[in-house]
Amino acid sequence: MTQPDSYQPARIPQATPALPVAASPTSQPVATGLAMKRRHPVTVWLLWPILTLGIYHLVWYFKIHKEMAEFDRRRAVPVAGPMLVLLFLSWTFIAPLVSYYNCGTRIRNAQRAAGLQATCSAGIGTLLMLVFGAGTLYYQIELNKICDATGVPEGQQVSLYV
pLDDT of 9 > 60? The answer is no
Domain presence at residue 5 = no
Domain presence at residue 87 = yes
The three-state secondary structure class of 63 is helix
Domain presence at residue 92 = yes
Full residue range of the structural domain in which residue 101 is found: 31-160
Instruction: Name the domain count of the chain.
Output: 1
pLDDT digits 0-9 by tens, 144-157: 999 999 999 999 99
Q: Taking the model in full, what pTM does it have?
A: 0.82
pLDDT digits 0-9 by tens, 126-146: 999 999 999 999 999 999 999
Region 18-45: mean pLDDT is 79
The C-alpha atoms of residue 154 and residue 42 are separated, in whole angstroms, by 19
Domain presence at residue 7 = no
pLDDT of 100 > 50? The answer is yes
Averaged pLDDT of the chain = 88
Q: Which residues of 5-18 are buried (b: 16+ CB within 10 A; e: fewer)?
A: eeeeeeeeeeeeee
The pLDDT-based confidence of 19 (bands split at 50, 70, 90) is very low
Q: What is the pLDDT of residue 10?
A: 52
Domain presence at residue 2 = no
Domain presence at residue 19 = no
Domain presence at residue 86 = yes
Contact assessment for residue 77 and residue 109, using Cβ atoms and an 8 Å cutoff: no
Contact assessment for residue 34 and residue 73, using Cβ atoms and an 8 Å cutoff: no
